[in-house]
Amino acid sequence: MAPHHAHITVLPLDLLIYIIDRVPEPADRKSIRLVSRAFHRAECLQRRDLNVIRREALGMLIRCYGAIESLDLSACAGLDDACLSTALGGGAAPGLRKVNLSRASGVRWSGLAAMVRGCPRIESVDLSHCVGVGDREVAVLAMLAGLKELRLDKCLGVSDVGLAKVAVGCPGLEKLRIKWCLEISDLGIKLLANKCQNLKFLDISYLLVTNKSLHSISTLGRLEVLKMVGCYYITDDGLNYLKNEKNCNTLLSVDVSRCHNVSAFGLVSIIEGHKSLRKLKASDCYVDLPLNCLSKLGMLTNGFHTLKVDGSEVSEPRLKIIGANCKGLTKIGLGKCKGVTDENISELVSNCADLKTIDLTCCHDVTDDSLIAIANSCKKLESLLLESCSLITDEGLVYIGTCCPNLQEVDLTDCDLDDSALESLSRCSELMKLKLGLCPSITDDGLDYIAKCEKLQELDLYRCTGIGDDGLAALAYGCKKIRKLNLCYCTRISDQGMKYVSCLPELKDLELRGLTQVTSLGIVAIAFGCKNLTELDLKRCSAVDDLGFLGLARYAINLRQINISYCNISEQVLIRLLWNLRCLQDVKLVHLTHVRKEGFMLALRSCLDKLKKLKLPTILKDAISPALIQILQDKGCRIRWVDKPIPFYMKDSPPSSPDP
Amino acid sequence: MKGRVFVPFCCLEFMTKIHQVQEVVRSMIGREGSQFAAQQQLVTADLTSIIIQLISTAGTLLPSFKNSSLPNNNGSLIGSDIPSSDSTKASEYEELIKGLSSAGDEGDDLMKYVNACGGEGADSVLAEDDAVDGDNLPPGSYEVLQLEKEEILAPHTHFCLICGKGFKRDANLRMHMRGHGDEYKTPAALAKPSKEISSEPVPIKRYSCPFNGCKRNKEHKKFQPLKTILCVKNHYKRSHCDKSYTCSRCNRKKFSVIADLKTHEKHCGRDKWLCSCGTTFSRKDKLFGHVALFQGHTPALPPVDDTKVSVVLDQVQNNDLMNGGSIGFNFGSASDDVGLLDIKGDDDDRGFFSPMNFDSCNFGSLDDFSRPSFEVPESSFSILPGSYNYVNRNGS
């Protein structure tokens, strides 16, 4: 060690930990870790949360970071029982409180059982979207007596029996999500309500439960959040139970979106029963909101801040009544509502000066007058969604740009705006998310304006055919924070543009569909420049050839999702690509005309234990060996077969026929 | 309840039917001179229908008739449960028709039959539950018999006096006796013995359980007698014997009476709702009600199938196999991946694309590749973004 570094090496471990405590950025932490063994040791002891991406490293990482409290394995490719039990079964992370196993479809009960044995203090488990999980897995989790939070969204195998196991085993449960667990019925909910009296958060969206369940739920004295999106069998009578029970008046948030059998009377029951309500969501219920229902909103306390009534009828005095009764409103959702006019909007916003989020998606009658009214009243505005409001122009957006300095998110998809509108928006220095899809009038000059928004993280330029490489140069120069960029079908963009994009260091998600001028050189530049790239869509990039994919295979090592459908990739390169990208989880391989079935099989075998999602053309269904498909599925990979004809321009180069 | 309204009504019906028969017969006698075939048919049809109605009415009368004819009845027709099940009813009717056709003392014949059908011959009709007492006879109105334990548990109750062979049924013994000589083949010897003593009024018999302290024991304060010998046998086995018959399906439930086991086996497996305490339920809501009631009880999961476990094991083996295989399947330096910190994320020193060594690659059971059809180029190609040397060998 060089002498001028000596003073760092003598720092004791506790001081180092104290220092590392104050370093939040992952990149900085990485630099710290690489300083010396002592620094590495300190970082190991200090770290509380860990996100593991590669299965092979899991065991070693857990041994290294024994003090972790939160473990995220949702992106860990190919995670299976054996791996989980060797990593966590031995008690290497005794202090673990929170485990995220979302989409870890290879994990079954034996792995979970080992985890429960090794980490008995786990309080929060996320098993959402593990479609194979059933009662046995949940029964294992029920052995965690201290469990407080459990997410089981779309665990299709979980039935009332599994729910009963949790209800009995984890009496201290506070948060439970059982969205899409279609096997669960009223009986299970009844038992849950009987045993878990501490529940504060319950999501029963899309369950086939009836009003009986709401009757049981109404006995939960501490429930604060109740979500029941798309519960078709729940009616006004059920919501009336929530009102009648004296026990349950603590609800803060209720979501009855897509409950088609709920009418305004049900909403009135909720409002009357829960004066301290803060959020009410009733999107897509197709209810006609009668005036007396809306005037009941005045009974709520000032804390009421979110109202979402997408798809409802809100003609003449309704928005005015909402405005008059809910002065503290900060979020309002009026997407696809009928009867939204400029007068209505101005009456609403004149009363609600605190509005931060306004959703006017598909309110086709909204014009610049509404924007002027919003700009004049809502100085705190943060999010404005105006998709398909085709009557608005740059004149209205000027007001928004000058009066709403806090604006963070704007959706102008399909509004057919031009560069002058973007000039107005460029004054919003806080802008983080901007959607400009389907605005072909926008040119490179417009992107010059956007480049002034330095905090921009997400930009959608889907089918903005007016933009070219120069615009991307401006973006790359100004918006260094961009993480997500959609350039699909912006056909004027070429390799030069890709070179500019490759200068975006934080880019994670890049969509380049149908960019026919981009060649391998551009792709290699992206792969080399954007080290954090995790998602890449190259569908129909017909000019990209093997060189580009080899570049990806070599440099884009953090890539997790890739779409190379309709691309010109050869067999060997496909195998190499799938083998080399070790974080790869989601692959779309439709219509690769240069790859024979043997190539597909070899390629799939090379990435057998990491894939979670796979999209293949139906033609291959019979060609690929059933044993291979079985192994893929056993390892938790979901295969989607698409049946689309090969486009005519690809037919002149037919796949080389397999030799007999 | 039923009987009180029903009996007089039936009697009335009986009377009217008999009057109808009389009328028909009278009209037949009147027309004796001028007989027409058509008329005769009509009359015959009339008669037949009336007779059928008569029989059925008499059949329904039967149970109440029996009760009302018992001595010291106290007029209670209420508890008149039909002692035998439906299957015996058919034979009752047959017997009744015989009784009606043979001109004699109808009431006595019926009584004979009723008494006879109680005890024996009902072996096949698994005597309901021993709790079913039928009538509540006042104490003293019947004779109490008590069989000894050995007698109850004896497999056979009828023994051949000549060779000593035992039988469960008297009828079988009589069949057996035929082999011991012609004297046992006479109709008298083969007839039911009970018919011989039918003329005398039979005293009512009730049975006591030999087990001291049992409620069915005659010394018990609230003694409840058992009705038939079969009841005694079943009661004694169920209450005071070991349960030696185990259900072959669930291997859990045990019974001391074979018939009970058979009844259980019919339903065993249908009680799929099992609680952790071992109680089974045929309905899910009953199980959940039970679980809600008791602290710590949970619904039990079905045991893991052996097949499933073996599949899991297979998978694990496959996994090892594949991992082992991937070492032979050397695309690059595979071993350098293991143990690397992922967070580093920028180690670019990945290996070159080495030729795939198929001969060392063991796919085990998955070796369904058509290897000859896929030729891998021998030459490894090195790829750097600057130098694009890759030659597509696909066509070769």
Per-residue model confidence as pLDDT tens digits over B3-51? 444 445 555 666 676 777 677 667 666 555 455 555 666 667 667 777 7
User: pLDDT band at residue A441, thresholds of 50, 70 and 90?
Assistant: very high
pLDDT at residue B129 above 50?
A: no
- What is the average per-residue pLDDT within B348-356? 37
Neighbours of A389 (CB within 10 A): 24
- What is the average per-residue pLDDT within A471-492? 95
Gap between the Cα atoms of B119 and B127, Å rounded = 10
Lowest model confidence (mean pLDDT) among A268-272, A597-601, B371-375 = B371-375
Q: H helices within B178-257, ranges in order?
A: 187-190, 229-240
The reported pLDDT for the residue numbered B349 is 37
pLDDT at residue A308 above 50?
A: yes
Look at residues A497, A461, A462, A501 and name the one whose alpha carbon lies nearest to residue A482.
Answer: A501
Nearest CA in chain A to B315: A634
The reported pLDDT for the residue numbered A634 is 81
- What is the average per-residue pLDDT within B88-109? 49
- What is the average per-residue pLDDT within B314-325? 39
User: pLDDT band at residue B308, thresholds of 50, 70 and 90?
Assistant: very low
Instruction: Please tell me which residue, A288 or A155, carries the higher pLDDT value.
Output: A155
The DSSP H or E segment spanning A71 is strand A70-72
A558 touches B: beta carbon within 8 Å = yes
- What is the average per-residue pLDDT within B383-387? 39
Q: Fill in the DSSP letter of residue B378.
A: S
- Residues in CB range of B190: below 8 A, 6 or more apart: B174, B178, B184
- Residues in CB range of B114: below 8 A, 6 or more apart: B62, B66
The reported pLDDT for the residue numbered B197 is 53
Q: Given the structure tokens 């010291």, which residue do they identify? A: B72
- Residues in CB range of B181: below 8 A, 6 or more apart: none
| Cβ-defined contact of A547 to B332 (cutoff 8 Å) | no
pLDDT at residue A655 above 80?
A: no
CA distances to A160, A555, A574, B52, B329 from A550, rounded to whole Å, are: 50, 9, 9, 97, 19
What is the greatest pairwise CA distance in chain B?
Answer: 132
B340 touches A: beta carbon within 8 Å = yes
* Percentage with pLDDT > 70 across chain B: 42
Lowest model confidence (mean pLDDT) among A136-140, A244-248, B111-115, B335-339 = B335-339
List CB contacts (< 8 A) between A105 and chain B. none
Which amino acid, A316? E
The reported pLDDT for the residue numbered B150 is 81
Identify any residues that bridge with A536 across adjacent strands, giving them in sequence order. Answer: A510, A562
The DSSP H or E segment spanning B58 is helix B37-68
| Cβ-defined contact of A528 to B343 (cutoff 8 Å) | no
The DSSP H or E segment spanning A579 is helix A571-580
The reported pLDDT for the residue numbered B110 is 41
Burial B110-125 (b: 16+ CB within 10 A, else e): bbbbbbbbbbbbbeee
A570 touches B: beta carbon within 8 Å = yes
**Facing residue for A524 by CB, picked from B298, B345, B385:** B385
Gap between the Cα atoms of A458 and B159, Å rounded = 99
pLDDT at residue B168 above 90?
A: no
CA distances to A498, B77, B329, B363 from B368, rounded to whole Å, are: 43, 83, 16, 9
List CB contacts (< 8 A) between B297 and chain A. 168
Gap between the Cα atoms of A195 and A211, Å rounded = 19
Mean pLDDT score of chain A: 90
Look up residue A245 and give its two tokens.
């029970």
Which of A71, A191, A555, A568 should one mutate to test binding to chain B, selecting the residue with the greatest count of B CBs within 10 A? A191
pLDDT at residue A604 above 80?
A: yes
| Cβ-defined contact of A61 to B344 (cutoff 8 Å) | no
The reported pLDDT for the residue numbered B279 is 86
Positions of E strands within A487-549: 509-511, 535-537
pTM: 0.67
A608 touches B: beta carbon within 8 Å = yes
Which amino acid, B106? E
The reported pLDDT for the residue numbered A564 is 95
Look up residue B74 and give its two tokens.
């106290």
Give the relative orientation of helices A109-118 and A81-88 as an angle to the nearest 10 degrees: 10
Gap between the Cα atoms of B382 and A351, Å rounded = 69
Which of B331, B342, B357 should one mutate to test binding to chain A, selecting the residue with the greatest count of A CBs within 10 A? B342
Smallest Cα distance from B393 to chain A, Å: 9
Q: Given the structure tokens 């009026």, which residue do they identify? A: A334
DSSP collapsed to 3 states, B60-74: HHHHHHHHHCCCCCC
Look at residues A458, A396, A447 and name the one whose alpha carbon lies nearest to residue A423.
Answer: A447
Lowest model confidence (mean pLDDT) among A41-55, A389-403, A414-428, A643-657 = A643-657
Identify any residues that bridge with A77 across adjacent strands, giving them in sequence order. Answer: A54
CA distances to A124, A410, A479 from A448, rounded to whole Å, are: 46, 17, 10
User: pLDDT band at residue A647, thresholds of 50, 70 and 90?
Assistant: confident
Residues 305-324 of B with CB under 8 A from A: 312, 315-316, 318-319, 322
User: pLDDT band at residue B152, thresholds of 50, 70 and 90?
Assistant: confident
Burial B252-269 (b: 16+ CB within 10 A, else e): ebebbbeebbeebbeebe
**Cβ proximity of A482 and A459 under 8 Å:** yes
pLDDT at residue B195 above 70?
A: no
B286 touches A: beta carbon within 8 Å = no
Lowest model confidence (mean pLDDT) among A300-309, A570-579, B246-255 = B246-255
**Cβ proximity of B227 and B207 under 8 Å:** yes
**Cβ proximity of A600 and A625 under 8 Å:** no
- Residues in CB range of B186: below 8 A, 6 or more apart: none
Nearest CA in chain B to A191: B292
**Cβ proximity of A401 and A422 under 8 Å:** no
Which amino acid, B392? N
Instruction: Please tell me which residue, B101 or B146, carries the higher pLDDT value.
Output: B146
Q: What are phi and psi of A279, to 5 degrees?
A: -125, 135
Nearest CA in chain B to A32: B344
Nearest CA in chain A to B343: A30
Per-residue model confidence as pLDDT tens digits over A193-202? 999 999 999 9
The reported pLDDT for the residue numbered A574 is 94
User: pLDDT band at residue B244, thresholds of 50, 70 and 90?
Assistant: confident
Per-residue model confidence as pLDDT tens digits over A397-417? 999 999 999 999 999 999 989
3-state secondary structure of A331: strand
| Cβ-defined contact of A528 to B368 (cutoff 8 Å) | no
CA distances to A572, B329, B369, B370 from A602, rounded to whole Å, are: 9, 11, 9, 11
User: pLDDT band at residue A646, thresholds of 50, 70 and 90?
Assistant: confident
The reported pLDDT for the residue numbered B106 is 43
Per-residue model confidence as pLDDT tens digits over A504-539? 999 999 999 999 999 999 999 999 999 999 999 999
pLDDT at residue A489 above 80?
A: yes
Gap between the Cα atoms of B302 and A136, Å rounded = 9
- Residues in CB range of B139: below 8 A, 6 or more apart: B223
Lowest model confidence (mean pLDDT) among A104-118, A434-448, A640-654, B335-349 = B335-349
Per-residue model confidence as pLDDT tens digits over A609-640? 888 899 999 988 888 889 999 988 887 788 99
**Cβ proximity of A78 and A103 under 8 Å:** no
The reported pLDDT for the residue numbered B267 is 75
The reported pLDDT for the residue numbered B363 is 39
Gap between the Cα atoms of A483 and A490, Å rounded = 19
**Facing residue for B319 by CB, picked from A57, A82, A596:** A82
| Cβ-defined contact of A164 to B298 (cutoff 8 Å) | yes
Gap between the Cα atoms of A631 and B319, Å rounded = 10
B390: left (phi over 0), alpha (psi -120 to 50) or beta: beta
Lowest model confidence (mean pLDDT) among A391-400, A416-425, A453-462, B27-36 = B27-36
Gap between the Cα atoms of B148 and A134, Å rounded = 57
User: pLDDT band at residue A589, thresholds of 50, 70 and 90?
Assistant: very high
User: pLDDT band at residue A567, thresholds of 50, 70 and 90?
Assistant: very high
